[in-house]
Structure 1
Amino acid sequence: MNFDLHLNGLRAVVTGGTLGLGAAVVKTLAEAGARVATSARTVPTQPVEGVTYVAADLSTAEGTSHLARSILQDWGGVDILINVLGGSKTPGGGFAAISDAHWFAELDLNLMPAVRLDRALLPTMLAQGSGVIIHVSSIQRVLPIPESTTAYAAAKGALTTYSKSLAREVTPKGVRVLSVAPGWIETEASVAFVERMAADAGTNYEGGKRIVMDWLGGIPVGRPAKTQEVADLIAFLASPRSASITGAEYRIDGGTVPTL
């Protein structure tokens, strides 16, 4: 018996939907029957059938406005908005290596796209009295790595706090807001990162994975999460099946964070 998420026909916008977790979320929602649109700086050469792709750089206000205008023109509004876009390009070296430019870049990638897109598309949800917004945060907000993720972790912490405040504001008006905090996910980018770490340490890929897990203080399940595992959680939270869930953050990290 299939577990129907009741997503058929719902309009869903996913940011960063061509690689990694974003691509898995796009595919999962589309397979569940949702109408899906997603953004990326470059439209993929092998798009998912039936998915609308909008070329836009969401780290800029102009790119976010372009995506929002495209969605409103084509659909008139949205039912589900999932902000997956994020990442970190700040170099290692601790606090002293993080310039003002690095700080602003992390905020522009990990916080402001969600803030701007919510501001543009949330009014249509409020007008119809229903909708779901999900922000993808990170366990780094409570478990930062001082050597390399301070600015990224701070930006994700801001995203989680913003999500909570937004939920308190709009849930009484019919719109649910949640955040999802993954731990280490085995995406294309993380595989490349581990391979570089392994090469620098003179070990293989499995050895590189152990290095990263040691940095995190260990992962009790013994491995990073698969993108599909996180996408399945997000799809459930976005669905009417979780209609009573709002204002919460859901951690999916294999037990990495040792506290409740």
Structure 2
Amino acid sequence: MAKQDRDRLDGRRALVTGGSKGAGEAVVERLREMGADVWTTARTMPANYELPDRFIEADTSTIAGVEAVAARIAKEGRLDILVHVVGGSSTPPGGFAAAGEEQWMAELNLNLMGAVRLDRALLPAMVEAASGVVVHVTSIQRQLPLHDATLPYASAKGALRTYSKGLANQLAPRGVRVNAVSPGGIQTEGYAEFLDRIAEGNDITREEAKQTIFDSLGGVPLGRFAKTEEIADLVGFLVSDRASSIVGAEYVIDGGTVPTI
């Protein structure tokens, strides 16, 4: 294969969950730039979406939603690339006591079980073909959980990383590569909403809420959170042939937030 072709994904079919906005939208755009036939899923298709025939409206935090996505993809044939971006937190501030049973299950279904169920539905075809790539988007909160409002989210992402590593070890001998991307903060609309929740819940300004988050993380040496296109560039590399020997890894992209030795 020519050297320049290792960056291309021509002829490959990809599915990106949570691809309607934020990092997911950026990943969809990046993989299309690389030549892939990219499908995406989210609860609601954005108005005037460019390729509506490649959008599956579904809630992958539910069993029915996963079944709908799997059935639609199955009509097209097997996937070559599966990227799990969907995730988030809606837990109110207040620490562990603020999250009840319903909230915990909602966060686990959104951030963990959706990926587990979709993998179970779509990966057997990759295994049969002895070819495929999977990327799970985790979070640095699996190491640095923000206890005030996102403990259920952090716990789910920690479990997702453990699951991803075990899956990678099982599937690598069968020709399917699995890796994880662990972002810190990302500059998205969701981050802006999270700032507002922290500010309102603690009766502080938005800037003070931002500083509170930075302080709770021990600082961000880069001085800013990642841009969505930076997350997409990393995912694009991991699903390309340039990363053909990378298996079971977790790539942290957090501006230096997590201390390393």
TM-score normalised by the chain length of structure 2: 0.93
Answering whether residue 175 of structure 2 is matched by residue 151 of structure 1, we say: no
Alignment of 1:71-90 (within 5 A): 71-73=73-75, 75-90=76-91
Alignment of 1:175-186 (within 5 A): 175-186=176-187
CA contact (8 A) 1:131 1:175 kept: yes
User: The residue matched to 2:104 in structure 1 has which SS?
Assistant: helix
Query: Runs (4+) of structure 1 moved beyond 4 Å?
Result: 1-4, 195-200
Give the Cα–Cα distance (whole angstroms) in 1 for the partners of residues 131 and 53 of structure 2: 23
CA shift digits 1:161-191 (9 cap, x unpaired): 0000001111000000001100000011112
Answering whether residue 251 of structure 2 is matched by residue 242 of structure 1, we say: no
Answering whether residue 76 of structure 2 is matched by residue 93 of structure 1, we say: no
CA shift digits 1:23-44 (9 cap, x unpaired): 0000111111100000011111
User: The residue matched to 2:149 in structure 1 has which SS?
Assistant: coil
Give the Cα–Cα distance (whole angstroms) in 2 for the partners of residues 202 and 131 of structure 1: 46
What amino acid is the match of 2:204?
Answer: A
Give the Cα–Cα distance (whole angstroms) in 2 for the partners of residues 221 and 51 of structure 1: 40
Match of 2:45 among 43, 46, 59: 43
Q: 1:191 corresponds to which residue? A: 192
Compared CA separation, residues 183 and 41, structure 1 to 2 (3 A): same
- The alpha-carbon deviation at position 61 of structure 1 amounts to 0.4
Give the Cα–Cα distance (whole angstroms) in 1 for the partners of residues 56 and 85 of structure 2: 15
Match of 1:31 among 13, 19, 33: 33
Task: Please list every run of 5 or more consecutive structure 1 residues that lacks an aligned counterpart in the other structure.
Answer: none
CA contact (8 A) 1:64 1:113 kept: yes
- The alpha-carbon deviation at position 57 of structure 1 amounts to 0.8
Give the Cα–Cα distance (whole angstroms) in 2 for the partners of residues 2 and 122 of structure 1: 28
- The alpha-carbon deviation at position 47 of structure 1 amounts to 1.8
- The alpha-carbon deviation at position 66 of structure 1 amounts to 0.3
Give the Cα–Cα distance (whole angstroms) in 1 for the partners of residues 159 and 205 of structure 2: 37
Q: 1:20 corresponds to which residue? A: 22
User: The residue matched to 2:7 in structure 1 has which SS?
Assistant: coil
Alignment of 1:84-123 (within 5 A): 84-123=85-124
User: The residue matched to 2:178 in structure 1 has which SS?
Assistant: strand
What amino acid is the match of 1:68?
Answer: A
Q: 1:215 corresponds to which residue? A: 216
Give the Cα–Cα distance (whole angstroms) in 2 for the partners of residues 88 and 12 of structure 1: 26
Q: 1:56 corresponds to which residue? A: 58
CA contact (8 A) 2:93 2:197 kept: no
Compared CA separation, residues 57 and 216, structure 1 to 2 (3 A): same
CA contact (8 A) 1:12 1:34 kept: yes
CA contact (8 A) 1:68 1:120 kept: yes
CA shift digits 1:117-136 (9 cap, x unpaired): 10111011011110001000
What amino acid is the match of 1:43?
Answer: M
- The alpha-carbon deviation at position 198 of structure 1 amounts to 5.7
Compared CA separation, residues 3 and 240, structure 1 to 2 (3 A): closer
What amino acid is the match of 2:36?
Answer: A
Q: CA RMSD in A?
A: 1.9
Give the Cα–Cα distance (whole angstroms) in 1 for the partners of residues 236 and 20 of structure 2: 17
User: The residue matched to 1:92 in structure 2 has which SS?
Assistant: coil
CA contact (8 A) 1:164 1:248 kept: yes
User: The residue matched to 2:59 in structure 1 has which SS?
Assistant: coil
Give the Cα–Cα distance (whole angstroms) in 1 for the partners of residues 199 and 112 of structure 2: 31
Kindly tell me the number of residue pairs found equivalent between the two proteins: 257
- The alpha-carbon deviation at position 216 of structure 1 amounts to 1.7
